[in-house]
Structure 1
């Protein structure tokens, strides 16, 4: 009977998951700033439940004293991408990192499972600094599209319900659904450039609106009350017509007012010295 302290045993895995989530989210933010597009859509992570660890150990014939080396996905990170092409790119970024070691990879996209499961797995070794020193932890990184993840989540739930003994009809329906998800991914890839262009336009427009409202708000700071009220009125009219060219002109005008106000404030400060 296993009498280990599971709370203590899982601590390094919990730390691994939290640190890797932060690092990959930071990678996403940096890529977005550098290239205006990040292949990472979002990142999640989890530590395997004790019951799942025990089930997997039994299934694989892993002894309790060998869990740290025998079960490679106690710590799990999932990276979601919009397009299949992004998966290879993210994997390449991970291979190039110096803060972890990729031990091996499992390509279930090219060589998808008989069930229809598709995903790209990387087994890594990650060094965590614990209170009692450094510990190298095995973790699994899964990289997949949103469509692949939707299918895998449903399949996992059904397998849990049926204790990995899915009825034949259910298996066939899941295979058909997996093919449909694959077709969806291919269709999205075929219009990838149009999708990215639309997303960039939407983001640029959103930023323009935010910048304009922020600039109008600053007018109140310089006591330009009538100017702020007038700018807000014009903003409302422009927003109704979705005239983004006029929005840019308004932003430039408000920035001009702010520059003049700031210049006047600096001159008053200089005169008072």
Structure 2
């Protein structure tokens, strides 16, 4: 277990640092009183059992686990599909990590119906033994995409990828329904943002009155 603690330590540090940095991007939009393309940010380090399962599936030797791209994982949630591209461009312009790969599963969805945008980065972690660069994966998706992906992941774990035909069909239908929801929301984006700005300002005024 001590071996795993040492191996995962820089990944845990990277996730905590990146969460702060990526959440900070949202805060900067709020300070500018402009719409934030980032709804919220989450992060996690893949459990040991999941690391071993994936290594076995992908044929990755235990002494080559550092090649695995998603041991450290972040998710950035957006309200609208267009926001995803805005966030990706923001990530491209940062100089505190290097982008090594991008995978666009929105323009080119997976056969399962999965949609998301993946950015794999090489992030420098500062340790007492010097700098260590690790791979981390940032997934950018809408709330609707995330809802579908979360359900699909749970079912995939249950059925080990071998979905019954009816479940597979319904998942694909649900994926299309989620994407249509995103499209409809994009059509009334202006109205939504105006309403959100109104309620935010109203909340601020009430807070000022209390103070």
Shorter-chain TM-score range: over 0.9
Q: Matches of 1:54 and 1:164 in 2, distance apart?
A: 17
Q: Matches of 1:199 and 1:24 in 2, distance apart?
A: 22
Aligned runs of 1:174-193 on 2, under 5 Å? 174-193=171-190
Structure 2's unaligned 5+ residue stretches are none
Q: Between the two structures, name the one with larger relative contact order (CA 8 Å, sep ≥ 6).
A: 2
Residue 211 and residue 35 in structure 1: after superposition, are their counterparts in 2 closer, same or farther (change >3 A)? closer
Asked whether 1:30 is paired with 2:28, we answer: yes
After TM superposition, where is structure 1 displaced by more than 3 Å over at least 4 residues in a row?
none
Which residue is 1:242 aligned to?
A: none
> 1:177 Cα deviation (Å)?
0.3
From 117, 121, 127, the counterpart of 1:120: 117
Which residue is 2:43 aligned to?
A: 45
**SS of residue matched to 2:121:** strand
Which residue is 2:201 aligned to?
A: 204
| Structure 1 or 2: more strand by fraction | 2
Which residue is 1:81 aligned to?
A: 78
Aligned length, in residue pairs? 211
Q: Matches of 2:181 and 2:47 in 1, distance apart?
A: 32
Aligned runs of 1:110-189 on 2, under 5 Å? 110-189=107-186
Q: Matches of 1:108 and 1:41 in 2, distance apart?
A: 20
Q: What is the CA RMSD across the aligned residues, in angstroms?
A: 1.0
The one-character-per-residue Cα deviations of 1:82-111 (angstroms, maximum 9, x if unpaired) are 000000000000000000000010000000
Deviates further, 158-167 or 195-204: 158-167
Q: Matches of 1:165 and 1:110 in 2, distance apart?
A: 25
| Structure 1 or 2: more helix by fraction | 1
> 1:41 Cα deviation (Å)?
0.2
| TM-score normalised by structure 1 residue count | 0.76
